[in-house]
Amino acid sequence: MEPVSLRAYQQRLVDVARAYNTVVILPTGAGKTLIAGELMRCKGGPSVFLVPACVLVKQQAIALRSWTKLSVEEYMGGMQFPSSWEILVTTPKAFESAQTRGTAPPWSHFTNVASALARASISLCSWSIL
For the ranges 16-25, 83-92, 118-127, the lowest mean pLDDT is seen at 118-127
pLDDT tens, residue by residue, 8-36: 999 999 999 998 888 888 888 899 999 99
> In percent, how much of the chain has pLDDT > 70?
89
Predicted TM-score (pTM) of the model is 0.87
Decide: 48 and 63 in contact? Cβ < 8 Å. Answer: no
List Cα–Cα distances, 102 to 19, 72, 97, 106, 129, in angstroms. Answer: 31, 21, 9, 9, 20
DSSP type of residue 109: G
Beta bridge pairs of residue 119: none
Using CA atoms, how far apart are residues 85 and 70, in angstroms rounded to an integer?
A: 8
Mean of pLDDT values over 73-83 = 94
Confidence of residue 110 (pLDDT cuts 50, 70, 90): very high
Average pLDDT, the chain: 88
List Cα–Cα distances, 94 to 32, 34, 53, in angstroms. Answer: 22, 23, 10
Which domains does the chain show, CATH number per domain?
8-126 (3.40.50.300)
pLDDT tens, residue by residue, 55-69: 999 999 999 999 999
Q: Side by side, which strands form the sheet with 87-90?
A: 22-25, 121-126, 112-115, 47-50, 87-90, 72-75
